[in-house]
Amino acid sequence: MTDAQSKAATLIEALPYLQRFRGETFLIKIGGSVMEDPALVSDFMRDILFLEAVGINPVLVHGGGKAISAAMAESGLEPEWVEGFRVTCEKSIELVEKTLTHTLSPHLVKLLNGHGGRATAIPGTNVFQARRMTPGGKDIGYVGEVESCVTEEILYATSSSIVPVISPLGREIDTGAPLNINADLAAAALAKALQPAKLIYLSDVPGLLRDPKDATTLIKSLNPSEADDFIKDGTISGGMIPKVTSALDALQAGTRKVHFIDGRLPHVLLLEIFTSEGIGTEIVL
């Protein structure tokens, strides 16, 4: 088979997926060390635009933990964590909002527009209505969990062929103060509101692994019952537990499929969606 024939075969393989998902919404969360590699981020933004070009409505929620840590270090603030959540004081939340909403979101929008797309940054404070968290009864400051989502700006963007880029910050219901929200949980909460065809987590791990130290133990597909069993037996542990449980909530609320994929691989998003084999982990009802 020639190179040209191979390329044509790839397009034909993708055809049924293109037909199936045209007009659907994909909610994609990007985070982890992927956000630190300019080349990977740029390529990923191009893949996002490919989705939009073939009639899919991508909605992007981004993290930025390492950038926040760097900004705090420059300001002389020591990071502190409680049960996986960053303790966020009054000074810290200013840095968090500046980093996420005023630096990272515009940067991603600039990349998308630079690749010939149309994108807009939507502050998470316009989307996520939140209340403060107190994990284990501990006060961790300006950290929130989502109570509800306001989706009008997002739906206007997607209906206008514009890619919305959303930061993981919420607006405290009682006071209007900005709250730092875990990006995985923010994405899952938004999925419950939008009920997308797919909720896709892009991070720096291959997917869900039976052995976290062995990439060959990738769990390709599982259902919610199996996911619960893996949580109970410790296969899914640590920071993966809230990510998976929130994804299961999104499935129960109407999201049709959840994917966990390794953003360090070039074009992993397209490989997961438009090939029969896939490349990460999927959870389906």
- What are the tens digits of pLDDT across the range 35-94? 888 888 999 999 999 999 999 999 999 999 889 999 999 989 888 899 889 999 999 999
pLDDT for res 278: 75
| SS3 of residue 95 by DSSP | helix
Q: Exposed/middle/buried for 238, CB within 10 Å: 0-12, 13-18, 19+?
A: exposed
Which whole number is the average pLDDT over 13-18? 88
pLDDT at 277 > cutoff 70: yes
Contacts made by residues 209-217, CB under 8 angstroms, sequence distance 24+: 210/235, 212/237
| DSSP per-residue string spanning 17-44 | HHHHHTT-EEEEEE-GGGGG-HHHHHHH
Q: What are the structure tokens assigned to 49, written together?
A: 């635009």
Indicate the pLDDT class of residue 96, thresholds 50, 70 and 90: very high
Which whole number is the average pLDDT over 26-33? 89
Which whole number is the average pLDDT over 193-208? 91
- Total length of the chain: 285
| SS3 of residue 199 by DSSP | strand
Rounded Cα distance, 67 and 46, in Å = 22
- Any idea which residue has 């438009």 for tokens? 274
